[in-house]
Amino acid sequence: METLSSRVPRVLLRLLRSSPLRSFSSTSIPPHLEKVGFIGLGNMGYHMASNLIRAGYLVTVHDINYDAMKKFSEKGIPSKETPFEVAETSDVVITMLPSASNVLDVYTGPNGLLHDRSCVRPWLFIDSSTIDPQTSRKLSASVSSCPLQEQKGYANTPVMLDAPVSGGVPGAEARTLTFMVGGSEEAYIAAKPLFISMGKNSIYCGGTGNGAAAKICNNLAMAISMIGVSEALALGQSLGITANTLTSIFNSSSARCWSSDSYNPVSGVMEGVPSSRNYDVGFSSKLMTKDLALALASAKEVGINCPLASGAHEIYTELCKQGYESKDFSSVFRYFYGGKDEA
């Protein structure tokens, strides 16, 4: 088990615990977090990196998509051709990538962050991708086995946190994400200023891999909830009840949930959600299918039967086969159940 003395000194921890989170600002960035490498500049990563820059961090970016990097380089933000080059200039590296294979490639592939397991400069690696807990744990062990290029007062060996997020693209843009963090608690406390610069909540979930586990459990519940609400709303429409009326009933009774009161799947019921813009720009059905597959694989590994997760996975797989993989996952209401828009 990781110990306090091996990761972050007691003096620093006392200061971090006693300081209110709002005290961290662009003028008071801890020196051990100042230089941040950010890899993965897609819909989520673009906004997360941008919020770090606004907060005053010295950010260096990388993405395999040149156009994504260009958005930053045109603003004077340094960009690098490889993950290894990002690591050479960073105290902390944050990754936000689509899949476990992408994460492994960025960390352990040619010109990856760990580059032949040689000495590394960053003392902290934070992976905010949604991947399986097993991969997170193996990767954390690989990170911890690398020597630091330069011994630092706050860490003797590099540390990794798995810190996937909830909140989607709107949350990333508005800086209202929730981070679910697994790994060393001492490293989590030391990294809090980064999380606060990109979101409004961070929750420590326990040891390495627990952040990844929390995320796939959260998305499993979210998928089942969305399917349940969509099924009920479509049935209600078929029985002659408008979605607006049924939503009002849900939201003032025991059926109330996030899928009904904050992310309603029926066009015309709620503004500012994907259903109000033809299910574009949200959390895609393809990604939900991937996350459900991760949950099912993890359930199989620990011997847990998850019939609702299996059913949800089948539904979203079918949506993707029908060509709706890029549509938000709430589109299950229209494209699977045949639900109608509200006038």
Q: Looking at the annotation, which residues are catalytic?
A: 215
CB atoms within 10 A of CB 202: 22
Closest by CA position to 162, among listed 142, 189, 132, 186: 132
CB 163 within 8 A of CB 180: yes
In whole angstroms, what is the distance from residue 333 CA to residue 145 CA? 47
E strands within the chain?
35-39, 58-62, 92-95, 124-127, 159-162, 165-166, 177-182, 199-206
DSSP string, 274-295: GGGGTT-SSSBHHHHHHHHHHH
CB 342 within 8 A of CB 237: no
In whole angstroms, what is the distance from residue 6 CA to residue 217 CA? 31
Radius of gyration from C-alpha coordinates of the chain = 21
Closest by CA position to 140, among listed 59, 212, 48, 34: 212
Please name the residue that has the structure tokens 């003395």.
5
CB 181 within 8 A of CB 163: yes
Token duo for residue 133:
């807990």
